[in-house]
Structure 1
C-alpha cells in the first residue's frame, strides 16, 4: 500500500490539510515536495470519500531577510520590510516581490493539478481573521517564553512577546520588538541592531496589534493557522522536526494555549539536486518552473510522491537519471495496466486515469529530436506498428518538449547526440576486437530486415560471436556513428538511419586480423573449461578451422620462408538459441617456399586431433567445417 493511502487509513472525520511557502525568491523545486506530499494525502483521503480541504498559504507578511538573487543591491533598502510590501523586480507587472515569485509557483500548481485553496497571509492579517488568535497568544506570552526555554532551550527576556509590529516610520517588520501588551495595544521599538541582515530606524511607539499592523513570530503564526482553520494534517521538513525544533515548540504552544490536538505530522526529508540543498532567496538550485518545463506533469508528480516522505530524494537531470526516471514511470504504468499492482502510485502521479497507452523511451525521443530530417511522430508510429491515437500523440508531444528542454538547459556537451557525417577521430581508439565486431555486424545486417528489434538482436549476437563484452560492443557502435561511448538503444537508433550508410560506416575501419586474433585467442585450458561448462546446455557444438598466410616472408640460405598462423573458432549454440564463440590459436609455423598446402594439411590434422580430444572430454562430437583461408570472425554454421 502506498504511504499516503496508509496515512489516510489512520484518520477519522473531516480533515483540513495545510501547507505554505515564503516567496522570497524563485521557488525552487524542493518546495514542490511538500506541496505534492500534502496533495497526495489529500487525494488519498478523497479516494476514501473522507471530507477534506487542502489549503496552501503564501507567507508574504514575512520580512525580506536576504537580497534576492535577481536585483541584488536595489532591494537593500527593503530588507526587513514585509515581502508583500516590497516592489517587484523591474519589468514585472506583479504588485509585489512576493506576488512576482508565487505567481510562477502557482502556475506550476495548475499544471500539476494541485487543487489547493490558496490564501495570503497579508489578507489574513489585514482583514482581522487572526485577531482572536493574536490576542490569545499575546495574553499567554509567558507560556510561550517558558515553552521556548523548556523545549528549545531558548531563554527570552521577561518583556519579550512573540509579535512584531510593522514600524510606522520605516515600514520594517523584521527589526521591531514588542515589549508590552495591555489587551488593546502593544509597545514596540524598531531596534537598529536586532538582526544582522537589516537595520531598524530606532522608532518606538504604541499601536494596536490587530488589523494587519504586525505579525506573529513564525512559530506562533503556525500555531494560529492550526487553530484558526483548523488544521488536522500538516507535515514539515526535517529541519523543523529536529529535537527542540520549531515543530515541537509550536505543538506545545498549541496544546497549552488553545488546548487543541496538534495536526498529524508528516516529517519529510529534503529534495536535493545532485546532492545539494536549494535556497529560494539565494537562487540556488533548480526552480520549480524549470523542473516543470523539463518534466511532464505526470513525471514530476511521480518523482515526488513515489518515495516515502522520510527518505531523501536526490535527483540530477543528467542523461542516466532522467532516462531511468522515465523508465521507472513506464514500468509502473505497464504493471498497472497488466493488473500486477493496484495502481495507487500511477493514480497519484498521472493527470488522467488510464495507464494503457504507447509512449517511447525518453532516450529514444532525445535521440530522434537531434537527428536531421527525421519525423519523430512517423518513427514512433513505425515502432508502435500502427498510428498513434490522440492521447498517445499528446504524451509524445510532452516527451518531445521534455527532451528538447533537457538538451538546451541540462544536457552536458557529451550528452548531445550528433550524427557524424565522416568517421569521427574517436574511432581510431577502438581496439581490433571492436573493429572485428563492427565488421561482423555489417555483414550480418546486409541481408536482414531493417527493423529495430532485428538490428538489436543482431548486435547482441555479433557481440557473443566476436566475442566481445556488450559494453565494449555498443561503445564501438556509438563511437563510429556519434563519436561518443554511449547512447540510447542502438537497434532503434540505427533503424532510423539509411541502411547503406550504416553498413558502409560499420566496414569503414580496417581490421588488423593478426592483432584481432592475439586479443581474442585463449589458451587450450581456458577453452577446455569453457566447453565443459557450456556443453551440458548446448544443442550443438561446432568448429571453424582458420588458416592464413601472413605478410611476413623472408629469405634464408636462398630458401623462401612464408609464415602461417592458424586457430580454431568454437561455437556453442545454447537451448535458448543464442550462440557463443571462443577462439583458440595454437598453430603458427614456417612454410618453405610459396606452396602452403603442406603447412595447411599439417594444421588441419593437428586441429582435427585437438577437436577429437576436446569432444571426448565433453562427451559429444564437435562438428567441423572445412579449413578457410581467412581469419575474419565467422557467423557460419554447418
Structure 2
C-alpha cells in the first residue's frame, strides 16, 4: 500500500479533511504540497467508500506582518491590519490583498483537479460561527496559559488571553492585547511595541469578541476549526510538528477545553528549491502559478505525492531536474500498463492524474526541448513519425501540454548553455576533439548508411561504433553534439539524429578532419594491465575472438638523422564478441620503435614476435585460441 492508502485503510467512519493557507504573499509552490497530500488522502477515502469532505481555509483574518513584494512601502500604513482589510495593489481587480494573492492559487487548484470546500476566515468570524468556540476558549485562558507553559515552555503573563481584537481606532489586529474577559466583552489595548513589524496606536477599550470583532490566536484558531468543523484528518509541515511545537499545543488544548482528541496527523517535510525553504510573504522561491505554467498538471501532482510526506521535495526548474522528472513519470506510466505486476505504480499513476485516462504516447521531454528549438521541424509531424502511427486526440492533448511546458522552460528558465542551435557549418570546435572522437565521427558516417532512420536503431549503431573505435560512450556523444550543436551535451542522440536529414548527418560527420594514425593509436591505447583486467571480467562471456597486429614505419627519417633509424608504432587490435551479441575492440600499443632503433625490417620482425606473444597470452587467459593476423605495413594516415 502507498502511504495515503495506508492512512485511509485505518478509518471507516465519515471523515473531514482540512488544510489552510494564510495569503500573505504570492503563494509559492511549496504550499501545494499540503494541498495535494490532503487531496491524495481524500481521494483514497473516496476510493474505499468512506464518506469524506475536504475543506480548505483561507486565513485572511491574519494580520499583514511584512511589506508585500508588490507595492512595498505603499503598504506600510496597513501593517498589522487583517489581510482581508488591506486593499489590493493598484490596478488589480481583487477586492483586497488576501483575495489578490489567493485567487491565483485557487485557479491552480482547478487545473490540478483539486476541488475542496473553500471557506474564508473573514466569513467564519463575521457570521458568528466561531462565537461558541471563542467564548469557551476565553473562559479557559488559564488552561491555555498552562498548556503553553507545560508543552512549549512559553511563559505568558497572568492576564494574557488568546485573542486579538481589531482596534476600534486604527483597525489593526496584530498589535492588540486582550487582558480580561467577563463573559460578554474583552478588555484590550492597542500596544505601540507589542510586535516589531507594526506600531499600535495606544487606544484602550472594551468590546464584544464575537461577530468578527477579532480573532483567536492562531494555535487556538486551529483548535476552533477542529472542534467546529469536526476535522478528523489534518497534516502540517515539519515546523509545526516539532516537540513542544504548535501542533502539540493545539492538540492538548483541544483535549483539555473541548474533551476531544486531535485529528489524525500527516507530518510533512518542506518543498525546497536548491535546498532552501521558500517564503510567500518575502517572495522567495517559485510561485505555484509559475510551476503550474511550467509543468503539466499530472507532472506537478506526481512531483508532490510520489515521496513519503516525511521526505522533503527538492526541485528547481533546471534542465537536468525537469528532464529527470518527466523521465521518471514516463517510466511510471510504462509500469502502470501492467497493473498486476506493478500495483503500487498503477495506483500512484492514477492518483497523479487529474482525471483517469487511458494510456497515451508521449515523446521524451528532452527530445521536445530540442525539437521546439528547431524552427524547420513540425513537432506533431515529427512525433507522428517517431510513434510510427497517427497520433490520437489523447496523444495530441498531452503532446501539446509538453510542448507548452518546453516553451515555458525555454522562455523563463533556460540558461544560455541549455539552448540548442543546429549549426549550419561544421563547428571549429570539432577540430579540437580528441583523435579517437574524430575517427569515431568518420566511422559513424559510414556505419549509419544502412541504418533504418529510427531513434532506437540509430542509438544502437552509435553504441556499436563507439565500442569498435574504441571510445567511451560519453566521449562519443560529446563528439556528436559538438559536430551538430557546437556544445558538449544535448538530448538523447538517437532521438536528435532521427529528426534530422540522414544525408545531412552523414555528410556533417564525414567533414570532420581525420586524425593522424599515430595520434589515433596513442589516444586509444589500452595499457597491458588494463587489457588483461578487462579480459578477466568478460572471459566467461566470450564467444568469438580475433586479433590483428598493425605496424606503421616512417618512409623517411627526419632531416639530420641517420637513414637507418626508422620511426614507427605497432599495435595489436583485439576484437571480442560476447554472449550478448556485442562486439568490442581493444587496442594495445605494443612497441614504439623510436625506443628500439634499427632498420624497418628489423623493427617489423621485433614487433611481429612481440605481437604473437601477446596474442598467445590473451588466448591463455580467455581459454581459447585467438586467430591472429599480421597486417601489412601501414604507411598512410588511416586506421
Superposition TM-score tier, normalisation by shorter sequence: over 0.9
Equivalents in 2 of 1:401, 1:558: separation in Å? 71
> 1:554·1:561 contact (CA, 8 Å) conserved in 2?
no
Deviation (angstroms), 1:215: 0.8
Equivalents in 1 of 2:90, 2:68: separation in Å? 13
1:512-570: per-residue Cα shift (whole Å, max 9, x none)?
32112112223445434544554432221122333334476336798586534332211
SS for the counterpart of 2:548 is strand
> Compared with structure 1, are the counterparts of its residues 63 and 124 closer, same or farther at alpha carbon in structure 2 (3 Å cutoff)?
same
> Compared with structure 1, are the counterparts of its residues 135 and 532 closer, same or farther at alpha carbon in structure 2 (3 Å cutoff)?
closer
Equivalents in 2 of 1:551, 1:481: separation in Å? 37
Task: Compare 543-552 and 398-407 and name the one that shifted more.
Answer: 543-552
Is 1:341 the equivalent of 2:345? no
> Compared with structure 1, are the counterparts of its residues 324 and 630 closer, same or farther at alpha carbon in structure 2 (3 Å cutoff)?
farther
CA RMSD of the aligned region, Å?
A: 2.2
SS for the counterpart of 2:57 is strand
Number of positions where the alignment pairs a residue of Structure 1 with one of Structure 2: 630
Equivalents in 1 of 2:350, 2:540: separation in Å? 48
SS for the counterpart of 2:558 is strand
Deviation (angstroms), 1:130: 0.9
> Compared with structure 1, are the counterparts of its residues 528 and 85 closer, same or farther at alpha carbon in structure 2 (3 Å cutoff)?
closer
Equivalents in 1 of 2:192, 2:44: separation in Å? 49
Deviation (angstroms), 1:598: 8.6
Deviation (angstroms), 1:78: 0.4
> 1:465·1:633 contact (CA, 8 Å) conserved in 2?
no
Equivalents in 2 of 1:153, 1:45: separation in Å? 38
Residue 568 of structure 1 is matched in structure 2 by 572
Matches within 5 A, 1:169-568: 169-339=169-339, 340-342=341-343, 343-354=346-357, 356-507=359-510, 508-524=512-528, 526-531=530-535, 533-550=537-554, 553-554=557-558, 559=563, 563-568=567-572
Which residues of structure 1 form unaligned runs of 5+? none
TM value normalised by structure 2: 0.94
Deviation (angstroms), 1:633: 8.0
Residue 103 of structure 1 is matched in structure 2 by 103
Task: Compare 21-30 and 458-467 and name the one that shifted more.
Answer: 458-467
> Compared with structure 1, are the counterparts of its residues 525 and 326 closer, same or farther at alpha carbon in structure 2 (3 Å cutoff)?
closer
Which residues of structure 2 form unaligned runs of 5+? none
Is 1:62 the equivalent of 2:62? yes
1:107-135: per-residue Cα shift (whole Å, max 9, x none)?
00000011100000001111111111111
> Compared with structure 1, are the counterparts of its residues 555 and 105 closer, same or farther at alpha carbon in structure 2 (3 Å cutoff)?
closer
Equivalents in 1 of 2:156, 2:567: separation in Å? 96
1:459-489: per-residue Cα shift (whole Å, max 9, x none)?
1112211112212221221122222222211
> Compared with structure 1, are the counterparts of its residues 336 and 630 closer, same or farther at alpha carbon in structure 2 (3 Å cutoff)?
farther
Task: Compare 422-431 and 53-62 and name the one that shifted more.
Answer: 422-431
TM value normalised by structure 1: 0.94
SS for the counterpart of 1:10 is coil
SS for the counterpart of 1:303 is helix
Equivalents in 2 of 1:601, 1:216: separation in Å? 98
Deviation (angstroms), 1:422: 2.8
Task: Compare 234-243 and 421-430 and name the one that shifted more.
Answer: 421-430
> 2:113·2:355 contact (CA, 8 Å) conserved in 1?
no
Task: Compare 271-280 and 472-481 and name the one that shifted more.
Answer: 472-481
Equivalents in 1 of 2:562, 2:556: separation in Å? 16
Deviation (angstroms), 1:183: 1.3
Deviation (angstroms), 1:158: 1.7
> Compared with structure 1, are the counterparts of its residues 524 and 143 closer, same or farther at alpha carbon in structure 2 (3 Å cutoff)?
closer
Equivalents in 2 of 1:630, 1:130: separation in Å? 96
Deviation (angstroms), 1:219: 0.8
Equivalents in 1 of 2:67, 2:518: separation in Å? 68
Equivalents in 2 of 1:150, 1:555: separation in Å? 95
1:156-194: per-residue Cα shift (whole Å, max 9, x none)?
122211111111111111111111112111111111111
Equivalents in 2 of 1:565, 1:317: separation in Å? 51
